[in-house]
Amino acid sequence: MKKTLTFLSLIAACSAPFVANSCVDFDNIHANNVFIKNENQANILYQNQALKPTDSYINNEIIRTIFAPLISYSHQGKVHEDKINNNFDSVTKKILNFYLADSIIVYLPDNNGNLTQFSFIDSDYNLNLTKPDKGSGYSKPILKVSSPTSTSINHPDFWNKVKKASKIEFNLKENLFYVDKNGQQTNKLFQASDIANNLLNNQAYLQKIKTLYNVAFSYQNNKLIFSAFDLNKETKLDLFIQNEVMNNFIFQPSVKNEKDLFLGTYVVSENEVNKLILLKNNYSANDIFNNANDSLAKIIFNYNPVPLDEETFRIQSLRAYRQNLISILNYNTLNSKQQENVLKYSDIYGYNEVVSFNSKDAIFKWTYNSELQSDKPNNAFSNDFANFINSLTKKELFNFEKALSMLLNPYTIAKLNDSNYYWNVAPLASMKLQGIDQQNNNFDSLSSAYYLSTLTSFENFESNYFIEKEVYYQKDNILDLNKQLRSANFKGLKEIIASMISKFKLSHPGAKISFTIPFLDNFSEKDKRLLERYKNILNENFDLNVQIEKYDQNKTYFFQKAHISYLNNSLDSFFKVVWDDFHSLKSFSYFLDLASDEAIQKFISASNLEEFLSYLNTKTTYEQIKIINAFNNHFNIPVILNNALSEKTFEKILIQNYLELPSFEDGIINYSDVRTNY
């Protein structure tokens, strides 16, 4: 019956307003257990070392899917938001499982240094313990399951004990054999040394985990052992397992002098510049997955080595999706008219919302270039603009850039991105707080303290969620997007910028102050329209000539590209990035030395990062939030065009109706969790 419904869905789709004349190419329709995805880029993993075990964190769905971890989370069930009751009536369940590991032994020290041993030997769970907590639904889209069994790694006490542990042993499964690129079992037996050698041959990595987590590594027989390096220091074994063991590809097992051998749930069968194919491993370390009839048998990624223009790719992708030639299509690939039709026929088109990509990358992708040189041939700004910037004192330059950043209303930008919440600060929204009162505090992450975390202050101006939201809904603004785009402090910020320009022009009559703002290939139509409005606001309110253009890597811009990536979502990781930037690049942290805040002065005067972190760890959670705000208020980050808070925002996709795609907290799909509904 379900197959009939799928066929009818295709017929119905062909009658929709934007369907082409030729509807379904039945010769090319693939089996339901084959997942196909088209990418408008070259295969970045072609002839790439990324498929070999290296000290690199999992940041794409292919690496995630072929990874063979010691333990990992699986995800079950599709998320559905009940927008009327403001809760989730269907959620993704997150389950911790053994994969290469067979059991875990945790050692806890007592006050005398003696070790008590706790064994965790299974991964059972009870869904009855996961109950609605918001009316008849759930408050969060992804819920971690729990177990009443004390020996289960899904028991709440597991992570509590790991956090306090000084030593952990992973006992590995026996009689696991590698498979080749065709999914055929070989005679190569998995051994502890297949992981241990990756670590022992990388002294830089061993030093890194000592520094970050106070963890040392050893192994014996079929056992991997992680223990405290310095017994006089705090050991962060919980963070080490979550960030490294479960998410660093250096833990991918490999056989010396062998290639194309796999232990994960999928194997790389073909890897060309225009195509990558994954095949199911029926001999994986997960017997339930091996025997599952509703798992994917094959995953095909098609690439364009020479990317197509946006319109051509849109037309091809939409046609392919309608004809069931691809399995998934990003909603943002479509133009506005097509999006309207998809929403109108949402059930037919397999419209879904999944948790947005929530990577370890900072939300801002640009910083200001505060050191401009005139008379350079590739400048994307006039000589007069460079001279204007260079005429300002450092404090004046900070004020100019900060005012430019705060002109637009962040709440309005979020609404344009289909969200009611914005995130316009440098740290990750998921960043964990670690105040001395943490156990008695409701704020476990920055986003849980949302209204405090997004406070912005500058000179005598203050911006917060409620102030900016009020501007959006003011009676005089409600029908005028240009008015809604103006921040609550627009008038005062305008005076700051205008007075600086006027002062420069008094001594430089006839000066033409112009600069160009670049946009990237991956900017959506919505992003470009917003950038155009920002340009118009600047040109209409100031004696400026601002243009926009496609980013040219050979040019020097006032807005310069930045890629800020955090090791993890810890407080330590955030300040490690700030420390490195301030002591070398001085990009977003360029103005920190202007601050008079006690915490920032402590940061600047500290002889090393550990000294500052020790100071930070003496603060309450509220004090830590205030300190983070102080840093944010002194970062020079241009206006963020896609500022929707990912933890409260969903990515819109089209996925064929016979597929069930769960949500993932980091937005990176593990295809072993995708299910087919025949």
Torsion angle defined by CA atoms of residues 113, 117, 120 and 125, in that order, rounded to the nearest 10 degrees: -80
Q: Which of 244, 242, 285, 297 is nearest to 34 (CA)?
A: 297
Shared domain for 309 and 391, answered yes or no, is no
Question: What pLDDT, on the 0 to 100 scale, is given for residue 50?
Answer: 67
Q: Do 595 and 550 lie in a common domain?
A: yes
* Amino acid identity for residue 408 in this structure: L
| Residues 468, 413 contacting (CB under 8 angstroms) | no
Whole-angstrom distance, CA of residue 176 vs CA of residue 355: 34
The pTM for the full model equals 0.80
Query: Residue 310 sits in which domain range?
Result: 2-42+273-279+290-356+651-660
Query: 342 and 409: one domain?
Result: no
Tell me, what DSSP letter sits at residue 173? P
* 669 inside domain: no
Q: d(Cα 569, Cα 445) in Å, to the nearest integer?
A: 9
Residues 6 or more apart whose CB falls under 8 angstroms from that of 131 comprise: none
Q: What is the pLDDT of residue 361?
A: 85
Is residue 456 a contact partner of residue 463, using CB atoms and an 8 Å limit? yes
First to last CA, the chain: 9
Residues 607, 488 share a domain: yes
CB 435 within 8 A of CB 449: no
Instruction: Name the strand (E) or helix (H) holding 347.
Output: helix 346-349
Query: Based on the domain organization, do 555 and 410 belong to the same domain?
Result: yes
What is the pLDDT at residue 49?
67
Buried b (16+ CB within 10 A) or exposed e, 592-623: beebebebbeebeeeeebeebbeebeebebee
Domain assignment present for 546: yes
Q: Which CATH number do you get for residue 297?
A: 3.40.190
**H-only helix segments in 519-619:** 525-541, 571-580, 598-605, 609-616
Q: Is residue 48 part of a domain?
A: no
- Which letter, b or e, does each residue of 432-466 get, where b requires 16 or more Cβ atoms within 10 Å of its Cβ? bbbbeeeeeeebebbbbbbebbbbbebeebebbbe
**Is residue 521, in this structure, part of any structural domain at all?**
yes
Contact 454, 422 (CB under 8 A): yes
The CA angle 34-36-39, to the nearest 5 degrees, is 165
What the block records as the tokens of 558 is 């006032």
User: Cα–Cα distance between 166 and 444 in angstroms, integer?
Assistant: 24
Answer yes or no: is 103 within a domain.
yes
Whether residue 673 lies inside any domain: the answer is no
Are residues 521 and 392 located together in one domain of the fold?
yes
- Both structure tokens of 513: 């102050």
Residues 571 and 431 sit within 8 Å (Cβ to Cβ): yes
Cα-Cα-Cα-Cα dihedral sign, residues 635, 639, 641, 644: positive
**One domain for residues 440 and 560:** yes
pLDDT reported for residue 665:
84
- The residue count of the chain comes to 678
Tell whether 461 and 333 lie within a shared domain: no
Residues with Cβ < 8 Å from 364, sequence gap 6 or more? 426, 562, 564, 588, 637, 638, 640
Task: Chunk the chain into consecutive blocks of 10 residues (it has 678) and report each block's average pLDDT, rounded to whole numbers.
Answer: 40 40 47 95 84 90 97 95 87 97 96 91 91 88 94 96 96 97 97 98 95 94 96 90 95 93 97 96 98 97 92 94 95 89 93 78 91 94 98 97 96 90 91 83 85 91 93 92 96 97 96 96 86 97 97 96 87 93 90 95 94 92 95 94 79 94 91 92
Angle separating helix axes 621-632 and 571-580, nearest 10 degrees: 30
Residues 17 and 136 in one domain: no
- Give dist(CA 231, CA 206) in Å, integer: 17
In a domain, 349, yes or no: yes
Same domain, 102 and 171: yes
Number of domains in the chain: 3
Q: Is residue 61 part of a domain?
A: no
Residues 242 and 375 both lie in one domain: no
Q: What is the DSSP letter of 672?
A: G
Q: How far is Cα of residue 558 from the mean position of the Cα atoms in its chain?
A: 26
DSSP letters spanning 408-456? B-HHHHHHHTT-S-B--SSS-TTPBP--TTGGG-S--BTGGGHHHHT-E
Instruction: Tell me which amino acid residue 626 is.
Output: K
Q: What is the distance between the alpha carbons of residues 316 and 477, in angstroms, rounded to a whole number?
A: 40
Quick one: 213 exposed, middle or buried, by C-beta within 10 A (0-12, 13-18, 19+)?
A: buried
CA distance 180 to 668: 25
Rounded Cα distance between 60 and 44, Å, is: 11
Half-sphere exposure of 510 (CA within 13 A, CB side): 0
Residues 632 and 483 in one domain: yes
Cα 28 vs. chain centroid, distance in angstroms?
34
